[in-house]
Structure 1
Amino acid sequence: MSFDPISSLWRSVPSIPKDPPLHLLHRHPSFLSRTLSVQSLTVSNHVVLISGTTQQFVPALSRPLVFHPESNKWFFGPPFTSPRRWEPIGAIGYKGKLYMVNVKGNAPKEGLVYDVEENQWNDMPRGMLAGWNRPAATMNEDAIYVVNEVTGALSEYDCKKDCWKKVIELPELKLAEQIAAGRGRVCVVCANGETIVVVDVVARPARFWVVEPPQGQQVAGLHILPRMSS
C-alpha cells in the first residue's frame, strides 16, 4: 500500500509479478514470540526486496524484487549467487560511509564504519555507539535519528560533539519497531505495526501526527518515496 499525504488516503500498489510465485512468510506457528524478517530498502527512489522466508523455511527470493513508484511498475533484478533469508543487519549510510552495529538495546555491542573511498573499516565514535541502541535511520545521509521504544524519545546525532540530542519525546513513540526518514519527516512504526507516527523534525518545535495503516493490515516495512503515479 502507498499513503498519499496530500489526500490522506491509502492506495494499492500494483500486484507483484506472479512468475515466479512469491510467498513471503512474516509469522510462523513455530515462533510464537517473533516475526520473520522481510528485508527491504530504499535505493534511488526504488523499493528493493532482497530477502524473505517461505513456509518451508527456504529463501523466498532468488533475485531482488524492485518497485518504482513513479512508473508504478515491479521488476526483477539479476539472480543472487547466494539467496538470503533470516538475519537482517542494522546498517545505515551516513556522510558517504556505512555504519553498522551488531546488537540492539543496551547490551555491550560493537560498531564499525566502512570508508568506501579508503576501502577500510574503522571503529565507530564512542558517543554514536553508546546512543545507537534502538531503531535508526538517516535523512539523506546527513542526519541520523534513533527512537527509544521504552521512553518514546526521538534523538538526532550531533557529529561535532559526538552525542545524541533529543528532538521530541512522545508516548505515541513507545513500542517503536521501525523508523524511516526523508523529506524532513521521520516516520516510526509502533505497536506491533498498528500505528505510524510521523514527526516533522524541520519544524521548531517538532510537531507530529498519527497515520493509521489500512484497516485490517499491519506494517511489515516502511519507506519514504516519491508519490506513486496514477
Structure 2
Amino acid sequence: MISLMNQSTQSNDGQTTVDHTNDPPLLPNLPNHLAQIILSTIQPTLLYAVCRQWRRLIYTPQFPSFLSLYAVVASTAGNDVSFFTFDPISGKWTPLPSPEMDPPIHFLHHHPSFISRNLTIQSLIVCGFLVLIAATGHDFFPALSHPLVFDPLTGEWFRGPLMTNPRRWCAVACVNDTVYVASGVGAQYRGDVARLVEKWDVKKRRDEWRWEEVVGLKDGQFSRESVEGVAYKGKICMVNVKGNAGKEGVVYDIMENRWEKMANGMVSGWDGPVCVARSFKPVPPSDPVPLADLTANMEEVNQNISITNDIIARPEPETSFIDSHLLSASASMHGEEEEEEEVMYLVNETTGGVRKYDDENDCWKDVIEGSELLKGAEQMAIGGGKICVVSHGRIIVVDVVAKPVKMWVVDPPRPECEVISVHILGRPCIRL
C-alpha cells in the first residue's frame, strides 16, 4: 500500500499541497513553512540521523529532491520482472509497486529457444518519470500497446498514449523531454514499421499526449535488436547492433528533421553501451587511469558500504555531487543559469575500458583502462558524477569525478534477481 506522508489537499490551481497544520514544530518557535526552508539547506544524511520528523521531511515535496537509483530486475528462476529504487539516505533497496493493468501485463526476459539471448525491456527517464517503452510478451508479441509511466511523486503507474504500432526490438531515445521510437518489430515483421520513427512530447498536457510521425529511416536494419538512442548535442545517435559486430550508425538531426550517416570514428569505436553525462564537469585525465590505481578500491567491493548523501553509497565518504546539485538548483531559482556540458561515455564490453568521445577529432579517448568488473557491460546510466553499469546482472558504479577514479559493485536488490537496466531519477516523495 502506498500512502502520502502527510494529509494532502487539492488547491484551486490543481496542485497538490501538504497540510502540516497538525504536525509538531520542526524547529522551536518557528512555523513549519519557515523551518522547512532552513532545514532544506542541511544535508539530508544529517537530518535523517536526528529524528523521525526530520526524516519524514526529507521525503516530502517541500524538501529539495536528491537523486536515487532505479532498477528494472528479473528473476533468474523465471520471467518475473519487478522494479526497485535505491534510497541513498537509508542505504536500502525498496520495491516499487507493480503496474496494475487490465488485462495484466507479463514481460518475457528469457526464452527457451534463445538460451544465450535475453529479451530486452526498454525503458528511459523523461520529465521526471520512469517510462517503459517496449518489451516482449509471453506470446512473443509486443507486450505494450501504451508506454507505462511511473511517477515518483505519487508512486503510481499510468498509461502513456496509444502507440500506432506496438513493437519490440526498436531504438528509443529522449531529447528535450520528448521520446523518440525508431524501427522495431510488431506482431510480425513489416518493412514500413521497421522504417517508422515517431515522437511523443511528454511536456504537453496528458490529454494532449499522442505519437507524431517524423522522417523515417532509409531501411529496416535497426529492427535486429533493441538498441538505445543517445541524445548528444541536439541529435540522436544510434547503431543497429550491439557489441563488436560490424554495424551501421546513423544520426537524427532534430532541428532539421533528417537522418545522416554517423561519423566514421564514432561508429567504429561504438563497442559497448553509451550514455551522455550532463551538468557536471568530469576530470579530464591526460592519460588513461591505470587499473592498478583502482586496486585499493576493488578490495572494498564486497565490504559494507557507508551511507552518504549520494546516488549510491561509495566506500569512502566525500563531498557528494548532491551538495553541488542543490546549490545549482538554488542558483537557478535566483536567475543564475549554468552552462551544461555534454560528454559521451562508452564502456567497452570486451575490455571493460571506459572512454569518452572527442567530436572535434572524431575519436574515442581512454578514461579508464580495461577492468574485469566492467567486462560484459550491457547497459549504463549517468548522473551525479557516477557511471552506473549493468554487467552480468549486477551494478558497477564508477565515480569519474573522484581523484583517483573509484569503482565498486552494488549487488541486486535480491539475490535471486538480475538487474536488466538502471536509471538515475529524483527520489520518491512518498513512503513506499
Q: State the match for 1:115 in structure 2.
A: 253
* Whole-angstrom CA distance in 2 between matches of 1:158 and 1:197: 24
Q: Is the 8 A contact 1:167 1:206 kept in 2?
A: no
Residue of structure 2 aligned with 1:173, choices 374, 381, 385? 374
* Whole-angstrom CA distance in 2 between matches of 1:184 and 1:68: 24
Q: Is the 8 A contact 1:102 1:110 kept in 2?
A: yes
Q: State the match for 1:92 in structure 2.
A: 230
Pair 1:73 & 2:274 matched: no
Q: Which amino acid in structure 1 is aligned with residue 157 of structure 2?
A: W
* Whole-angstrom CA distance in 2 between matches of 1:12 and 1:34: 26
Deviation of the 1:48 alpha carbon: 1.0
Q: State the match for 1:220 in structure 2.
A: 420
Q: Is the 8 A contact 1:147 1:155 kept in 2?
A: yes
Pair 1:196 & 2:395 matched: yes
Residue of structure 2 aligned with 1:56, choices 139, 161, 164? 139
Deviation of the 1:181 alpha carbon: 1.2
Q: Which runs of 5+ in 1 are unaligned?
A: none
Q: Which amino acid in structure 2 is aligned with residue 178 of structure 1?
A: Q
TM-score normalized with structure 1 length: 0.92
Q: State the match for 1:136 in structure 2.
A: 274
Deviation of the 1:162 alpha carbon: 2.0
Deviation of the 1:7 alpha carbon: 2.2
Identity of aligned residues (%): 54
RMSD: 1.7
* Whole-angstrom CA distance in 1 between matches of 2:254 and 2:387: 26
Aligned length: 228
Deviation of the 1:35 alpha carbon: 1.0
Q: Which runs of 5+ in 2 are unaligned?
A: 1-83, 170-224, 279-340
* Whole-angstrom CA distance in 2 between matches of 1:103 and 1:16: 30
Q: Is the 8 A contact 1:172 1:197 kept in 2?
A: yes
Pair 1:210 & 2:409 matched: yes
Deviation of the 1:147 alpha carbon: 0.7
Q: Which amino acid in structure 2 is aligned with residue 116 of structure 1?
A: I
Deviation of the 1:212 alpha carbon: 0.6
Pair 1:19 & 2:218 matched: no
Q: Is the 8 A contact 2:377 2:390 kept in 1?
A: yes
Residue of structure 2 aligned with 1:3, choices 80, 86, 99? 86
* Whole-angstrom CA distance in 2 between matches of 1:28 and 1:95: 38
| Partner SS, residue 373 of structure 2 | helix
Q: What whole-Å deviation, never above 9, does each CA across 1:37-76 have from its counterpart, x for those lacking one?
A: 1111111221111111222112211111001223322111
Q: Is the 8 A contact 2:398 2:406 kept in 1?
A: yes
Larger Rg: 2
Q: Is the 8 A contact 2:390 2:419 kept in 1?
A: yes
Q: Which amino acid in structure 2 is aligned with residue 224 of structure 1?
A: I
Q: Please state which structure has a larger fraction of its residues in strand.
A: 1
TM-score normalized with structure 2 length: 0.50
Q: What whole-Å deviation, never above 9, does each CA across 1:139-166 have from its counterpart, x for those lacking one?
A: 2381111111221111111222222122
| Partner SS, residue 426 of structure 2 | coil
* Whole-angstrom CA distance in 2 between matches of 1:85 and 1:106: 22
